[in-house]
Structure 1
Amino acid sequence: MTTNRRQFMKVSVASVAALATAKVAYAQPMLEESNPQAKALGYVDDVNKVDTGKFPKYKQGQLCSNCQLYTAKSDNAGTCTAFPGKLVAGNGWCNLWVKKPG
């Protein structure tokens, strides 16, 4: 089967459009504090809202953005292995916080 330039261009344009659409389709939603798993782990999207009576493990300076489980995706959000498929706030916190090595 031979391919001419016109067929190649059509396939190329369709492929680029499919890739762009796929990236949008996989955009992850932000984790809601009302999520049952988030509630169970004490997740808050702002460390100023941590209930230190309920979660005494929290110490000043602990943030999702400096946790070993967090991978930054933007300046203020990223993924967390504790909450697959969701983005968490970089300024957030949960009871699974572990200091990044280094």
Structure 2
Amino acid sequence: MSQEENSESRRRFLKIAAGTAAVAVVGGFPRFARAADLPHLTDADPTAKALGYVADASTTKNPKHTPGADCANCQFYTGGPTGFGPCQLFPGKAVSAKGWCVSHTAKS
């Protein structure tokens, strides 16, 4: 291979790599936008009932609840420390950071 052919192959690779990266970035933005648009989980949801979910941990009477345990410090919750965010246990719903359920597992 000549040096000119190597340069052409390298340029082609870089163009393809840049195009792929651009598509990945643009394609990823809707995913972030959807997280904020998730419907809030309510105590009436069947999965929420099964896991004893409450939107405010301070109101639960469940004996398994320990003081200070809430969704914001659970390993399944991926939202911020306040407001609502996604939880792996309730796909497609946003849970309250102040909420709690029997599956609470403290972040390590």
Using the size of structure 2 for normalisation, the TM-score is 0.64
Deviation at 1:44, TM superposition (A): 0.3
What residue is the counterpart of 1:32 in the other structure? 42
RMSD of the TM alignment (CA)? 2.5
Question: C-alpha separation between the residues in 2 aligned to 1:29 and 1:86?
Answer: 5
Q: Rg bigger for which structure?
A: 2
Deviation at 1:74, TM superposition (A): 7.0
Using the size of structure 1 for normalisation, the TM-score is 0.68
Question: C-alpha separation between the residues in 1 aligned to 2:81 and 2:68?
Answer: 20
Letter in 2 for 1:89: S
Question: C-alpha separation between the residues in 1 aligned to 2:81 and 2:93?
Answer: 13
What residue is the counterpart of 1:75 in the other structure? 82
Query: Which secondary structure state, in structure 2, belongs to the residue aligned with residue 88 of structure 1?
Result: strand
Identity of aligned residues (%): 40
4+ aligned runs moved over 6 Å, structure 1:
none
Structure with more of its chain in strand, by fraction: 1
Gaps of 5+ in 2: 1-28
Contact 1:73 1:79 in 2 (8 A): no
Query: Which secondary structure state, in structure 2, belongs to the residue aligned with residue 39 of structure 1?
Result: helix
What residue is the counterpart of 1:10 in the other structure? none
Deviation at 1:75, TM superposition (A): 2.8
Count residues with an aligned counterpart.
80
Question: C-alpha separation between the residues in 2 aligned to 1:77 and 1:92?
Answer: 9
